[in-house]
A and B are shown apart, each in its own frame.
Chain A
Amino acid sequence: MSGTLTDQPMIDFRKEIFADERDDNLNEIGKPTRRQDITGHVTGRSPFYDDHLFEGLLHIRCVRSPHHAARVRRIDLSAAERMPGVVRILTGKDVPRNLNTLLSLLDFGIDDEPVLSTDRVRYRGEPVAAVIATSEARARDAVAKVLVEWEPLPHVLDVEEAIKPGAPVVLDIYPSNKFIYHGKYDHQKLRYGDVEAAFRQADHIVEGRYQMSPIEQAPIETCGAIATPEQNGRYACYSATQALFFSLAVSSKVLEMPSSRLHFIGGTVGGGFGGKVDSIHEPLAILGAMLTGRPCKCMWDREEEMQVGAPRGAERWYIKDGVMRDGRIIARSFTGYFDSGAYTRLSSYAIIKGVGHLPGPYTIPNVSANVYCVYTNRTPATAMRGFGITGVDFAIEAHMDKVADTVGLNPIELRILNAYRDGDMKAHRRLAKNCALIECCQVVAEKAGVKLSPAMLAASSRKGGGGDRARLPTNTATDQDGLVRGFQGGSYGRKGAKPASLPGLSQTIQSAAPMPAQTPPPATAPQQPPPRVGSMRFSSLSGFRRR
């Protein structure tokens, strides 16, 4: 390790802090017990999904778009099908229900993403066909022989360019390139108090713009799955998924197969970090096993993992603070743009999570946020460690440093001064409890030799909160900005709301338009809503969004 090793311990447990809230007299809890699986891991004997061996295993590799956006005029498989070792080539028409959105399992969002695209691609790397061959090398050779006639289309890569009028539309169902929240607004709002009024009273206004970069989850084990026919019409699927039943339910839905016919096996995974939730490989592997009758493996190589696999999405945040001379922050407003890429995946959810997290771990009496889930022609974003939080915490804490600079306060003292405490009202209108930010700040200051004032040293998460700080604002400024028409529901947070449907003609009120069956039809094409397929939705199981 570089740097200077000090005589400070590398780890200590500060048991004296909050000791009165704990019973430390337990048998197994709190013991440094060795992991049950560690010997297998360090000797290379733990079985991961790709360690399961099958006779006659086939390999699946995808044909991918070289364009950010294009129309698919024609796919010619004839040369590829004649290549040695090719057993079958899948296209979108082989997928029973070739349209899904991950959070449809929670009745959240409109189906928007095909397993294999048929008519149009929306990001570089989007799959349009899948070759099944007797070896990975033969599958790669055949992929190179698939001829696709592309008609490149205009594309957009920047979130703020994408929401300008006239920008290329990524997904027809979201004509302004913005996800629709609660069937009502083109962004998620947070309104608490009146930030504009408070800005006028503030001694200082501090503004900043922050850009979080896209990041790869980079697990050592790349994403993948192996499916094999079992007896009695069932299929076993060995998977690297981070969410076994989630992947099972996605497969059940897009393959229109009862979940009782699927047997998922996993649980030992070579790193996930959020990148193994999307359930991309399981449906393709199972479909391959269904159509060939043989075990099939679908697995990304490292390049696909890094460029086709969904990264942590980029986020752009604008923050504006109203600050008093003594360092108290009296107002904070956010405008945020999540780069969802070409499809929704989980970004819409992350935004609500991020909005519930604002304004960070501080008690600020006036808070406002407008956060947009924006579609661009890039690899769809998905979950990664700290999903919905890491990017905005970077923005908030870089901004806090600017506030400290502006008022000339020690950065640690600024945090303690504004920290939330037990009993404080938070901007999402629930009381804070079980807080510990102040104590963390104090411990780090002590370790780093940063002198704090007596008042800051005496501060406690358990004292000084509540009272006036527990009150809701007397006035909250609300607005109808970003109101949209023609959408219904679309948020899992609304009990009893109707399921999401396609918008009618954009921006005009229409009766409920049909849900797309295969690919999004033109807005005027009349079509019956398809019956519910696949497994029960989790939300239905829990009784919340029964249709």
Chain B
Amino acid sequence: MALHRGRGFAAINYPIGMNLGGDPSQALIHSNPDGKFTVALSAIDLGQGMKSVTRQIAAETLGVPVTDVYVDTADSDTGPHDMGSFASRGTHRMGNAVIMAAKEARAVMLEAAAEELEVDAADLVTDGRGNIHVRGAPGRSITTMAAAQAAQFKQGRTIAGRGIFLIPLSDVDPDTGEMTPVSTFAHAAMLVEVEVDDETGEVTITDMKSAYEVGRALNPRLVEQQLRGGAWMGMSHAAWETTEPYYPARDHGPVDFNTYLMPGPGDLAPHHISVLERPAEDGPYGGKGPGEMCANPVLPAVVNAVYDAIGVRVDELPVTPEKVLRGLRAQGGAKPRRRL
């Protein structure tokens, strides 16, 4: 019996948003008389942080503190249409819709402030801390709250904005597959280290080193949350999970978490993440969607690492001890490669 160590590598890119476009998102933003803003959406927060990232995008664009913004989602009577939270589209599509809505609302807010300050709205800037002032003259200022109150009670203006983002639906050529799938791609590379037990066939993933390129880390904590959880999900896809362990036969299908295998806390590998940011030209502040792609490089990196460790190719997921042992038996024992 011996433990064999191996390293495997994989690199991927990932398309952001629904393929071919045609998946609009809308946002509505309005201010109450205190200068606090509500963003109304129909986006879904599945735990990925949809509400938080749209809140930061709205605050940045409006030029107000994030604490002055609340995101309300999803009620079909009050939130405008959105295609949904899938295809890594939330941040990209909805983020852009929120920017458009926030720009419109900001313009009205600045007009209201300009009227109070008796200056041209084009000369006004926001400091992001709740004040609007004349560019280069911070002394000539008004709070966003005072501007909103003036808009509501003196000027009769609605500080509100509408936003939509739509990449129009495009064609596919049936004969060549020519198409415009998406407008932007995220990227990743991953090196995984494994230990393979040639007696039990068990594969232990001992370390992951990655680089993820996400356009812009709009909220670095949320990005880390996605990358860390997603890579563990990738680990799980590689070596644990399936609803049909003997696919295509349907036997031995799991019915609960006792029989549906996933890594426990003790199985999770340390993951050393590097985040790269190459802004997408049509992304909100350059942001892409890190949500889905973070799992993808782990699957092939694990099978490549198993090959590196014992010389067995497991081309059918998941990499179970049974498959490893059958592979070892077929080639007459472990044949370590140690190429990386």
Contacts and interface: CB of A to CB of B under 8 A. Distances in A.
A447 B250 contact: no
Interface stretch (A69-77, A88-96, A393-401): A393-401
Nearest to B305: A401
Contacts of A546: none
Given A361-B12, A411-B339, A18 B273 contact: no
Given A311-B243, A361-B187, A383 B304 contact: no
B15 A314 contact: no
B237 A492 contact: no
Contacts of A303: 255-256
A405 B304 CA distance: 11
A272 B85 contact: yes
Contacts of B266: 1-2
Contacts of A494: 171-172
A38 B118 CA distance: 42
Interface residues of B, number: 144
A29 B277 CA distance: 13
A476 B178 CA distance: 12
Interface string A383-418: 101111110011111101110110000111001000
Nearest to A339: B248
B199 interface: no
B267 interface: yes
Interface stretch (B39-47, B104-112, B133-141, B150-158): B39-47
B257 to A, nearest CB: 7
A542 interface: yes
Interface string A204-242: 000011111111101000000000000000000000011
Contact of A13 (B11, B184, B275, B337): B275
Interface string B175-186: 111111110110
A266 B73 CA distance: 7
Contact of B241 (A8, A216, A493): A216
A6 B293 CA distance: 25
Nearest to B12: A393
Contact of A389 (B55, B221, B248, B296): B296
B12 A355 contact: no
Contacts of A269: 44-47
B179 A185 contact: no
A9 B275 CA distance: 12
Nearest 7 interchain pairs by C-beta: A243-B84, A397-B300, A356-B181, A267-B74, A27-B128, A190-B177, A493-B172
A428 B177 contact: yes
B283 to A, nearest CB: 9
A454 B32 CA distance: 59
Contact of A538 (B83, B219, B276): B83
B297 A397 contact: yes
A37 B59 CA distance: 17
Interface in A183-198: 184-185, 188-192
Interface stretch (A142-150, A289-297, A437-445, A510-518): A437-445
Nearest to B177: A190
Contact of A439 (B180, B243, B276, B285): B276
A314 B7 CA distance: 26
A2 B216 contact: no
A360 to B, nearest CB: 7
A525 interface: no
Given A271-B47, A393-B297, A544-B169, A361 B13 contact: yes
Interface string B248-290: 1110011111001010011111111111111111000110000
A17 B169 CA distance: 33
A354 to B, nearest CB: 9
A21 B211 CA distance: 18
Given A2-B204, A36-B70, A544-B169, A356 B177 contact: yes
Contact of B73 (A267, A276, A376, A538): A267
Contacts of A410: 339-340
A276 B44 CA distance: 11
Nearest to B82: A245
A398 B315 CA distance: 8
Contacts of B277: 13, 15, 17-18, 22
Given A15-B277, A28-B59, A314 B260 contact: no
B174 A189 contact: yes
Interface of B: 7-15, 19-20, 22, 24, 42-47, 49, 51-52, 55-57, 59-60, 63, 65-66, 70-71, 73-77, 79, 81-87, 128, 166, 168-172, 174-182, 184-185, 187-191, 193, 204-207, 209-213, 216-222, 224, 227, 230, 233, 237, 241-244, 247-250, 253-257, 260, 262, 265-281, 285-286, 291-293, 295-297, 299-301, 303-304, 307, 313, 315-318, 337, 339-340
27 contacts: A4-B207, A6-B270, A10-B271, A17-B276, A30-B220, A33-B66, A36-B51, A41-B47, A106-B169, A189-B175, A265-B74, A267-B42, A306-B256, A352-B19, A387-B292, A393-B297, A397-B12, A411-B304, A415-B11, A427-B177, A434-B280, A443-B274, A444-B190, A444-B210, A492-B169, A493-B169, A542-B169
A450 interface: yes
A195 B301 CA distance: 27
A64 interface: no
Nearest to B272: A8
Contact of A157 (B8, B77, B218, B248): B248
A215 B275 contact: no
Contact of A209 (B168, B209, B315): B315
Contacts, number: 478
Contact of A268 (B45, B76, B166, B176): B45
Nearest to A192: B176
A411 B85 CA distance: 35
B132 to A, nearest CB: 14
Contacts of B256: 302-303, 306
A491 to B, nearest CB: 6
A524 to B, nearest CB: 28
A512 B92 CA distance: 40
A436 B219 contact: no
B194 to A, nearest CB: 10
A440 B189 contact: yes
Contact of B295 (A262, A267, A386): A386
A303 B296 CA distance: 27
A307 interface: yes
Contact of A11 (B65, B82, B193, B273): B273
A491 B128 CA distance: 47
Contact of B213 (A157, A216, A439): A439
A411 B178 CA distance: 30
B233 A385 contact: yes
Interface string A506-541: 000000000000000000000000000000001101
Nearest to A439: B276
Nearest to A483: B174
Interface in A323-374: 339, 349, 352-353, 355-357, 360-361, 369
A362 to B, nearest CB: 9
